[in-house]
């Protein structure tokens, strides 16, 4: 039987890569529901190609426009809107697999709905784990969901973990010395430190190795992305921050590594193309073609490694700090980062002020226990208010 797939965030970078892989295997996968924020045209085109059972836009007006277009084209697709509809298509009993590819905190509730419905979840939305890792993992285990990491580093680690254990999420006693997350270092890895404050949004989103959405591209330039990934790895693999290391690897060919007690270091390699981890998680434990070019190591020639530089990348240090503090500290970090990144993209603050704002918010807000969603969302909201305050103060200078 074909697996019915819901893609949350189908019009984004991960969404498009997922549809590319799915379109290579129509006999194995059925596109059941597509969901996005407000991009009517892209979602309409996807409806024409994939004829999903449901198409969801968060925005009401956009959904009405999509509805009109779908009707005129004579498609059977049902158009829905609003947050409840996102959760509905994530939890629908006809759905087998949910691709969680909404960007930011907005992805949390629909991804949680998929976990509670016991789905096979292909997790790209790392922010869900950063905000509510303990709670999220609890729901996954409680409801027998299968959580498969799409983030390339975590997918690499997953592939290097002991096979029999890859459904348990607890690797603390499996003879692992540490996991090593690789980072390209983003577009500013070689820039003069004094130039960083003058970097523009256009420069920040021009990633040397990967093509991605705007928010994660800025996160890569600050290396907050790697910081969020350290937190994501902590929850996915059940390892303390002291066993999660970051090193720079500018070619992005080794996607991450696992260092075992016996001295074996296992690495997963491939061209930097998200269709590999997407195909890996779609088909797991089988393998399918992803459309990715075979890796040519001779052409790559060289693999370089360097220590991560916390002075150049203060956001990475802030993420480690939040993980060590625990509770809602990581949700606060994430929320302040989302506000600061958006303000930077709108040219309201300088690149280097992103870290300053996050640190100020972390210093000022009290941290709570992260054992219930209400508290997590309240601290997320408080961090957004405070971060917006800092943005406004900086712009009015």
Tell me how far apart the alpha carbons of residues 283 and 71 are, in angstroms, rounded to a whole number: 34
Backbone φ and ψ for 120, nearest 5 degrees, come out as -85, 115
Q: Binding site annotation covers 174?
A: no
Is 153 annotated as ligand-binding? Answer: yes
Q: Among residues 109 and 386, whose Cβ is nearest to ligand NAD? A: 109
- 107 annotated to bind ligand: no
From CA 260, how far away is CA 254, in angstroms rounded?
Answer: 17
Instruction: Choose the one of ligand NAD, Mg ion, none that binds residue 106, judging by a C-beta under 5 to 8 angstroms depending on kind.
Output: ligand NAD
Q: Which is nearer to ligand NAD, 37 or 368 (CB)?
A: 37
Cβ neighbours around 195 below 10 Å, total: 11
Euclidean distance between CA atoms 380 and 74, whole angstroms:
42
Dist CA 316 CA 299 (whole Å): 31
With CB cut-offs between 5 and 8 Å by kind, which of Mg ion, ligand NAD, none does residue 239 bind?
Answer: none
Q: Indicate the SS3 state at residue 60.
A: helix
171 in the Ramachandran plot: left (φ > 0), alpha (ψ -120 to 50) or beta? Answer: alpha
What is the distance between the alpha carbons of residues 115 and 138, in angstroms, rounded to a whole number? 9
Q: How many distinct helices (H) and strands (E) make up the chain?
A: 16, 12
> What's the closest the beta carbon of residue 106 comes to ligand NAD, in angstroms?
3
Of all residues in the shown chain, the one whose CB is closest to ligand NAD is: 12
127 binds Mg ion (CB under 5 A): no
Please state, in angstroms and as integers, the Cα–Cα distance from residue 137 to each residue in 51, 232, 314, following that order. Answer: 33, 11, 28
Q: Which H/E stretch holds residue 68?
A: helix 60-72
Running DSSP on this structure, what letter comes out for residue 319?
A: H
- Is 220 marked as binding a ligand? yes
Residue with smaller CB distance to ligand NAD, 104 or 314: 104
Q: Interface with Mg ion includes 232 (CB under 5 A)? A: no
Stretch of 85-93, 150-158, 251-259, 327-335 contacting Mg ion, by CB under 5 A: 150-158
Would you say 127 is a known binding-site residue?
yes
Closest CB to Mg ion among residues 152, 360:
152
Using the minimum distance from each CB to Mg ion, give the nearer residue, 181 or 343. Answer: 181
CB of 7 to ligand NAD, least distance (A): 8
Name which of 35 and 362 has its Cβ closer to ligand NAD: 35
Q: Angle of helix 353-364 relative to helix 314-325, nearest 10 degrees?
A: 20
From the CB of 27, what's the least distance to ligand NAD, in Å? 26
**In the complex, which residues of this chain contact ligand NAD (CB under 6 A)?**
9-15, 35-37, 39, 58, 86, 101-103, 106, 124-127, 151, 210, 212-213, 215-216, 274
| 178 carries a ligand binding annotation | no
Q: Which is nearer to ligand NAD, 343 or 360 (CB)?
A: 343
Q: Is residue 213 part of an annotated ligand binding site?
A: yes
Strands 254-260 and 176-183, bridge-based pairing: antiparallel
DSSP string, 206-245: --SS----HHHHHHHHHTHHHHHHHHHHHHHHT--GGGEE
Q: How far is the CB of 229 from Mg ion (least distance, A)?
A: 5
Characterize 242-266 residue by residue with b for buried, 16 or more Cβ atoms within 10 angstroms of its Cβ, and e for exposed: ebbbbbbbbbbbbbbbbbeeeeeee
User: Running DSSP on this structure, what letter comes out for residue 106?
Assistant: G
Task: Say whether 125 counts as a known binding-site residue.
Answer: yes
Q: Does 151 bind Mg ion (CB under 5 A)?
A: yes
Residue 363 CB, nearest approach to ligand NAD (Å) = 25
- CA 12 to chain centroid, in Å, comes to 12
Q: How far is the CB of 35 from ligand NAD (least distance, A)?
A: 6
Residue with smaller CB distance to ligand NAD, 322 or 360: 322
Smallest distance, ligand NAD to C-beta of residue 235, A: 15
**Is 226 annotated for ligand binding?**
yes
- The backbone region for 74, taken as left when phi is positive above 0, alpha when psi lies in -120 to 50, beta otherwise, is left
Residue 124 interacting partner from Mg ion, ligand NAD, none (CB closer than 5 to 8 Å by kind) = ligand NAD
Residue 184 is labelled as binding a ligand: yes
**Residue list, annotated binding site for Mn(2+):** 151, 153, 229
Contacting residues toward Mg ion, per CB under 5 A: 151-153
Please enumerate, by residue number, every residue annotated as part of a binding site for 1-deoxy-D-xylulose 5-phosphate.
126, 152-153, 184, 207, 220, 225-226, 229
Residues tagged in the binding site annotation for NADPH? 11-14, 38, 125, 127, 213
């Amino acid at each position: 039987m074909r697996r019915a797939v819901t893609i949350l965030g189908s019009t984004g970078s991960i969404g498009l890569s997922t549809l590319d892989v799915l379109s290579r295997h129509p006999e194995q996968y059925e596109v059941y529901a597509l969901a996005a924020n407000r991009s009517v045209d892209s979602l309409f085109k996807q409806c024409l190609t994939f004829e999903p059972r449901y198409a969801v836009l968060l925005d009401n007006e956009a959904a009405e426009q999509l509805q009109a277009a779908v009707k005129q084209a004579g498609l059977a697709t049902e158009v829905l809107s609003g947050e409840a509809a996102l959760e509905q298509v994530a939890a629908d009993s006809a759905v087998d697999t949910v691709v969680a590819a909404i960007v930011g905190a907005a992805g949390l509730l629909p991804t949680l709905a998929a976990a509670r419905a016991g789905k096979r979840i292909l997790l790209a939305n790392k922010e869900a784990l950063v905000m509510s890792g303990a709670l999220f993992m609890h729901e996954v285990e409680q409801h027998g969901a299968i959580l498969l990491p799409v983030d390339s580093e975590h997918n690499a680690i997953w592939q290097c973990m002991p096979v029999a254990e890859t459904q348990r999420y607890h690797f603390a006693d499996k003879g692992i010395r540490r996991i090593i997350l690789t980072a390209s270092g983003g577009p500013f890895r070689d820039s003069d430190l004094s130039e960083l404050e003058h970097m523009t949004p256009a420069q920040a989103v021009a990633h040397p190795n990967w093509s991605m959405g705007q928010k994660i591209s800025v996160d890569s330039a600050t290396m907050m992305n790697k910081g969020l990934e350290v937190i994501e790895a902590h929850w996915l693999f059940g390892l303390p921050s002291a066993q999660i290391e970051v090193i720079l690897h500018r070619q992005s060919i080794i996607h991450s590594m696992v260092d075992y007690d016996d001295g074996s270091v296992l690495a997963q390699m491939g061209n930097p193309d998200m269709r590999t981890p997407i195909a890996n998680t779609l088909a797991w434990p089988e393998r399918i073609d992803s459309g990715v070019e075979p890796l040519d190591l001779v052409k790559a020639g060289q693999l370089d490694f360097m220590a991560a530089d916390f002075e150049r990348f203060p956001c990475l240090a802030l993420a480690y700090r939040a993980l060590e503090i625990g509770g809602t500290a990581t949700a606060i970090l994430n929320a302040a980062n989302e506000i600061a990144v958006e303000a930077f993209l709108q040219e309201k603050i300088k690149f280097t002020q992103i870290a300053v704002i996050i640190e100020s918010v972390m210093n000022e807000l009290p941290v709570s226990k992260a054992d219930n969603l209400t508290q997590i969302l309240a601290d997320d909201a408080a961090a957004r208010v405070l971060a917006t305050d800092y943005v406004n103060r900086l712009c009015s200078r």
